[in-house]
Structure formats: C-alpha cells, structure tokens
Amino acid sequence: MGKLEGKVAVITASTRSIGRAIAEIYLSEGAKVVVSGRSAEKGEQALSEMNAGENAHFIACDAVNQSEVESLIDETVKHFGKLDIVVLNAGGIMGAAPVAEMTDEVWNHALDINLNHTFWGMRKALGHMIPQESGRIIAMSSMEGKLAKATLSNYTSNKHAINGLVKVAAHEVGTLGITVNAILPGLVLTDMFYESMPATAETMGVTLEEAADMFTQPAAIKRPNTVEEVAAVALMLARDEARNITGCLFPVDGGTMPY
Amino acid sequence: MGELDGRVACVTGGTRGIGRAIAEAFLEEGAQVVINGRSPEKGEQALSEVGAGENLHFISGDVTDQAVCESLVDQTVEHFGKIDIMVNNAGGGGDAAPLVDMSDEIWNFVLNWNLNHPMWCMRRALKYMIPQEWGRIINISSMYGKTVIPTNSHYVTTKHGLNGLTKVVAHEVGAMGITVNALCPGGILTDVMNSDGRVAAEALGMEFQEFLDMMAAPSAIKRLNEVEDVSLVAVLLASDAGAGISGSLINVDGGQVPY
C-alpha cells in the first residue's frame, strides 16, 4: 500500500531534476502524476524513462504563461478526474546583475516563472480543492527565500514572496482540509544549475566552483543537497497524515539558514 | 522494509504523549527503541501497550539529573549495541508566574528539563555517533522556542535556548554524517499540557479550555496539533533521506509561527 494511493498530483517543471524526483517518488507511492515542462520531447523522454504506464501523463506547460499554467491544472483534473496534490516547482535564477543594472525584461520574466506561476497554479488548484475539502499545495521556494546574495535580486525577492504567499494561503484554507507549504532547498546540482550558473558566476566574478562553494560552505553539511532529499519532504507533506502541517517553510538546506 | 531498519533510537519522555508517538512510529519503521521516563510503572504500561517485544526497551530515570541522562545513553548502547537516533523529547513547564514572581526552584528545574537534559544527552550521544559517522539528533522544542507566552519565561527561554543549541551542534558535526534538528510543535493536549497547561492557564487568569483555544486560534488549522504530526516529521528526519536537513527548526504548528 503506497502512501499516496489513489491521489492525483501535478508537478510543474518535472521532466528533470527536483520535479522529476518528486514525480518518481509520488509514482512509487501509488499516485497518478501529471508531469509537465516546456519541451514535449523531454516530456516523452521522461515518461519513457519513468516507465509508469498510464499512471504518468505529460502535459506541456511553459510556467511563464498564465493560461498554460491554469490550463495545466484543469487538464490534470480532466485527465485523472480530480486533483489532490500540486507541486509548483518551476523557477530559476536568471539574468544575474546588480539591481542598478537589472532590466525590466529579466525582472518580469523571473517574476512570472518564480512567483506568478506559483500564484496562478495555486489559485486555480484551490478552485478544485476547496469544494472537495482536501488538498496539498507545495511551493518550491529556496533558502534564498530567507537569505540574500548580491546580483540575485529577482530570484531572491521572488522566493521571499513565495514564502509570504504560502503563509497567507495556508491561513485562508487552513480549516478546509487543505495545506499549503513551501520547501526551501539549499544548492542542488540540477541541470538548471549547470545551465544558468556559469553566467551567474561570471557576473559575480567567481568561478563556477567558487559559486557552488558560496552556497555550500555556509551549510552545516558542507555539501549540496540532493533531489532525493527534497523529494522525501515533498512526499511527507503530500500525505494525508500531514494534515496539520501547513504554512510551514520547510528547510532542506543542510543547516544554512539559521532561522 | 522500514525506513529505519537496523537503527537504534533513544527517546526521553517516551512513555506517553509525543515521545510515545515517536517511539511507536520508529518501531513501525523497523528501529529498536529505548524509551525513558520517570515512572517504572508507566514504563511497564507503555511496553505492554505497544507490544513490540524485544524491540522496545524501557529505562527509568529523571532526565533533570545529569547522571541519569548520561547513563541513559550508555545503557542504550549496552542494550542494543549502538545508538543512531537520540530524541530529546522530555520537557515541560510548571509553576507559571510573571518573571518578578518566578522562583529559583522552578527556573532551575525547567532549565534542567528543557535545556540541560538535551545538552547532556546530545553530548553523550555524540561520543558514539562521531566515531560511527552517522547519527540523528532530534530535539523536541516548541513554537514557544520562536514565539512567546506570558508567565512562562522559564519555558520560553529554555526552548529558545534549545533552538540555539541545535543550530550550533548541527554546524559542529554537519560534515560527519550527523544531523541535529529541532521540531517546534504547536499546542498538543498531552499529559504534560494537561498538568502544566492548567497551571499556566490559572496564572493567566483563564479557564483551561480558553487557554487551549488561545493556543489554537492563531494557527491556520484553528485546532491543536496531535502527537502524530510530530512523529511524522521525526521519522523523516531520522531516515537516510533526512541526511540533508540539519540545523533546522521545523514548525509543526498548523501554520502558527510565520518564521
């Protein structure tokens, strides 16, 4: 008997890395999972690698696009008949630059993918969860949701904002059987890290290795976190047994944030 | 296959309430568990109620006594051959009063119970965990480790102290395969609450039920927490998948404390 038997989940940006690890652990615990991402090709690849048959389904979604995020939620309900768990995992560091040089384009793009996508997905999901009086919403924040590093103004303020949004939403639906939590991972060496971090490191004037150390040295464990460590928390929060854990900013950062 | 197969745990204050729930959850996941408590009678009762045979062992002793704490850890190792998980759960308040009327006796008693006992047990347990390069220390703090309730300066101060201690130790042993975390539960109607909570209610000039309502009202779920909420997170922290979570003060308070 899986811990998520009979549950339906949708996870944004889940063809690879953290989202993918969450999809896999949910599937292994008996849930039906909608995997999503921008690229249909990567979606097909993920489905074939996960080999979960009809329990996994791919829906393409670019998380910067409001109508695509909202449609993803509705299509999940259409496909699997309901929605129990939403993991708003898409996001990323982009266009690192001092605030004085931050462009509107980069600022707005980051705002959409990190914060607005979380808001759009959450609002739409609540439309389905409130009538059924049950649901689990998990937003992927970051330790940068509590900390700060130069040149990461868009990412940092978006993740701080997600933490605020999560707490408010938790209080709004706290007596309706719905929990809303954020997970705050430390550095995880995902594809996104290797794609975006070289440019970010350059802006910071450090090597890629030094940039990674900047994130891991303040940790107690002196190493990056893993996708599996994040997925384990995402599983726990999704369970029926976690009904009284809400509005929580759950750290998976190896002891980096002291608060 | 349990998540704690082959692990040995020691839980202070483990005959009833939160500690008992943690002991039962650990047993269910395959661990061998020592529970401690002051009363041999309650210990025997717990052993017989849990019915876990040789996987559960009771050691009596009052953890406000340093020698008892140190011996408890040693006896756990003697009995089950090692110690992997130390849960410092015992604690409470009592004789609630405004600071101006706080007696030395209750201040020192609560200091020993809530702060020194985890320090003594942790220090001793680390002597075994450091050489084996694997360990999990879980301190049961409280939402009052982050927030405040009048007339409970002893309780609030010692739980704040425990949170600080947790973070320091996490950084000291973070690279040795040992994690140190604190759980910060909201109000739970345990036996300790039923006794010390009544005293606190009286000191605040309210009925016990009013006192309980006062603790639930600021939460998102508008009800008290349950012991199983805490044991759910304790299992995660104790498992291999919890390796990347350390130095964290994790709220299990239904969305009460916003930080």
Q: Which amino acid is at B224?
A: L
pLDDT in tens, A211-224: 999 999 999 999 99
The answer to whether residue B183 is domain-embedded is: yes
Residue in chain B nearest A169 by alpha carbon: B220
Residue B69 near residue B59, CB atoms below 8 Å: no
User: What CATH number did the domain enclosing B12 receive?
Assistant: 3.40.50.720
CA distance A70 to A78: 13
Q: Which amino acid is at A239?
A: R
Closest listed residue to residue B4, CA positions, set B34, B30, B24, B25:
B30
Total Cβ atoms within 10 A of residue B176:
18
Going from N- to C-terminal start, the domains of chain A cover 8-189+226-251
CA distance B56 to B194: 26
Residue A253 near residue A218, CB atoms below 8 Å: no
The answer to whether residue B125 is domain-embedded is: yes
| B151 reaches A (C-beta below 8 A) | no
Q: Which residues contact B166 (CB under 8 A, 6 or more apart)?
A: B137, B139, B141, B180, B181, B182, B247, B249
Q: Which residues contact B87 (CB under 8 A, 6 or more apart)?
A: B9, B10, B11, B12, B14, B19, B22, B137, B138, B140, B234
Say if the Cβ atoms of B171 and A247 lie within 8 Å. Answer: no
CATH architecture of A8-189+226-251: 3-Layer(aba) Sandwich (3.40)
- Residues A34-60 have a mean pLDDT of 97
Residues in A whose CB is inside 8 Å of some CB of B read 167, 170-171, 173-175, 186, 219-223, 225-226, 228-230, 232-233, 236, 239, 241-259
Enter the DSSP assignment of A152: B
pLDDT in tens, A15-39: 999 999 999 999 999 999 999 999 9
Report CA-CA distances (Å) from B186 to A27, A49, A103, A181, B193. 32, 42, 44, 16, 11
Percent of chain A with pLDDT over 70: 100
Q: What is the pLDDT of residue A246?
A: 98
The answer to whether residue B107 is domain-embedded is: yes
| B222 reaches A (C-beta below 8 A) | yes
The answer to whether residue B204 is domain-embedded is: no
Report CA-CA distances (Å) from A123 to A118, A173, B218, B222, B228. 8, 11, 23, 22, 29
Q: Which residues contact A130 (CB under 8 A, 6 or more apart)?
A: A173, A176, A178
Say if the Cβ atoms of A251 and B241 lie within 8 Å. Answer: no
Total Cβ atoms within 10 A of residue B42:
18
The answer to whether residue B200 is domain-embedded is: no
Residue among B174, B221, B249 minimizing CB distance to A244: B221
Map residue A82 onto helix, strand or coil: coil
With contacts defined as CB-CB under 8 Å, which chain A residues touch B251? 247-249
| B256 reaches A (C-beta below 8 A) | yes
Q: How high does pLDDT run on average in chain B? A: 97
Say if the Cβ atoms of B252 and A174 lie within 8 Å. Answer: no
Catalytic residue annotation of A: 155
Percent of chain B with pLDDT over 70: 100
Say if the Cβ atoms of A244 and B245 lie within 8 Å. Answer: no
Say if the Cβ atoms of A251 and B245 lie within 8 Å. Answer: yes
pTM for this one? Answer: 0.94
- Residues B99-127 have a mean pLDDT of 97
- Residues B110-119 have a mean pLDDT of 98
Closest listed residue to residue B21, CA positions, set B243, B224, B209, B225:
B225
The answer to whether residue B196 is domain-embedded is: no
Closest listed residue to residue A253, CA positions, set A223, A231, A228:
A223
In chain B, the number of structural domains is 1
The answer to whether residue B171 is domain-embedded is: yes
Res A112 pLDDT > 90: yes
* Torsion B3-B58-B69-B61 (CA) sign: positive
| B247 reaches A (C-beta below 8 A) | yes
Closest listed residue to residue B183, CA positions, set B84, B89, B86:
B89
The answer to whether residue B198 is domain-embedded is: no
Q: What is the pLDDT of residue B1?
A: 81
Q: What is the pLDDT of residue B245?
A: 98
- Residues B103-126 have a mean pLDDT of 97
Residue A241 near residue A4, CB atoms below 8 Å: no
Residue B111 near residue B154, CB atoms below 8 Å: yes
Say if the Cβ atoms of B175 and A222 lie within 8 Å. Answer: yes
Domain that holds residue B35: 8-190+227-250
Residue A92 near residue A113, CB atoms below 8 Å: yes
Q: What is the pLDDT of residue A1?
A: 82
